[in-house]
Amino acid sequence: MGEAVDIDDAKTARFQEKRERILEAATLLINRHGLKGLTFVDVAEKVGLNTTSVTYYFRRKEMLAAAVLHRTLDRIETLVDSGAREADPKARVRAYVTANFELHARILRGEDAPIAILSDIRAMKPPLRTELLDRYLLIFRKLRGYFGLPADDRQRALTTARAHALLQNMFWLIAWLPEYGAEDFDRARDRLLEIFEHGFAPSGARWAPDALPVPRTTGHSQGMPGHYLRTATELINERGYRGASVEDIVAQLNVTKGSFYHHHDAKDDLVVDCFKQSHLRTSLVQQAGFEAPGDSLHRINSVIATLLDVQFAGDFPLLRSTALQALPDEWRIDVFEQSGRVARRFAGMLIDGISEGVIRPIDPLIASQVIMATLNAAYDLRKWASGMPGEEAVALYATTLTQGLFAD
């Protein structure tokens, strides 16, 4: 009997080892191409199996994708739990952020497997999507618990905003942390924590932003092209790249697929145009901020408030970065460059404010990425924002940037 148990254990170990290799290969493919680029053929090629062998572990592609995403949620929950053991909010956030940086360092050194980008969860079909979203919400509530039990509705709204900003900034690390060597991770972590703890505005600074002009469309995007951009942006933000099909887009506009292909060669072309339009509109708001009266703190506050209002209540929001991984490499690089220019412009505004003495002496490059992450993810809190006056929602969420995550 002992020999049989040993053989069974060996078979189980081999099964788990191959299953892990399949999940790691699928993770890399999802991160590079999104769910639309995940195929059994590519997974099998990466792990040295045939496609029939892969289906022995996962009968359908959707089951494999769900397993990858559940595995990622397991790892994120472990990171959140590591912080929850600390005694106070600041210590919890510090432990959680440190654990994230340590994970990225291990991945960079090849000591740990990459984690999957979660942006395509919404594109999954029920019941898999429901199970994944329920797990995500459970993890989010754990993270919100870092900040203690809220005393009233306003405090509850504030802890939701803080947890959301914190979580989304950890997801955003992949956008800027690769520009640093592992030996610099501790310094980058400390600079990021400084922003989380104090924000970029001096203590007691007044929040009184101006509303800046926001172009709905620009240049060639008037008329029907503009309608396509708005509709595609909303659908992708709500459902992810895979969940926003050409059929869904034309159904929303009550036009034919022929009309769609008259304006666009393919869906990817439209997504690239959506990114370009979002970056251009953001740039124009930034430029209006540069030209606005007041000091640099007032100007950057006005830019942030204006863009948050677009994300919370505008009928033409900015496109979330969730669609980026599904684009072909050459187009993805171009979109990254556009995003980088927007981030550097925020960094320039922060540097101006530091020079004027109206912004705290924080790391402007890292702070600009915190702003990018927070604005990018603000669309997710539309329902949260709808429960209060617009200006209050903007002001409350903006405190995560201006005052940090712990201000009274």
Cα angle 80-326-309, degrees, rounded to a multiple of 5: 65
Can you tell me whether residue 207 is helix, strand or coil? coil
Per-residue confidence (pLDDT) for residue 269, from 0 to 100: 86
Distances (CA, A) of 184 to 129, 177, 191, 312: 37, 10, 11, 35
Per-residue confidence (pLDDT) for residue 5, from 0 to 100: 41
Q: Tens of pLDDT along the chain (408 residues)?
A: 344 445 455 568 888 899 999 999 999 999 988 888 899 999 999 999 999 999 999 999 999 999 999 999 999 999 999 999 999 999 999 999 999 999 999 999 999 999 999 988 888 889 999 999 999 999 999 999 999 999 999 999 999 999 999 999 999 999 999 999 999 999 999 999 999 999 999 999 999 999 999 886 655 556 778 888 999 899 888 888 777 788 888 888 888 788 777 777 788 888 889 999 999 999 999 999 999 999 999 999 999 999 999 999 988 999 988 777 777 777 888 888 999 999 999 999 999 999 999 999 999 999 999 999 999 999 999 999 999 999 999 999 999 999 999 997
Q: What are phi and psi of 359, to 5 degrees?
A: -130, 140
Per-residue confidence (pLDDT) for residue 221, from 0 to 100: 57
Cα angle 170-336-34, degrees, rounded to a multiple of 5: 70
Per-residue confidence (pLDDT) for residue 366, from 0 to 100: 98
Rg, C-alpha atoms of the chain: 22
The full set of domains in the chain, from first to last, is 2-148 (1.10.357.10), 219-402 (1.10.357.10)
Nearest to 202 by CA among 317, 18, 359, 397: 359
With beta carbons less than 8 A apart as the criterion, state whether 55 and 64 touch.
Answer: no
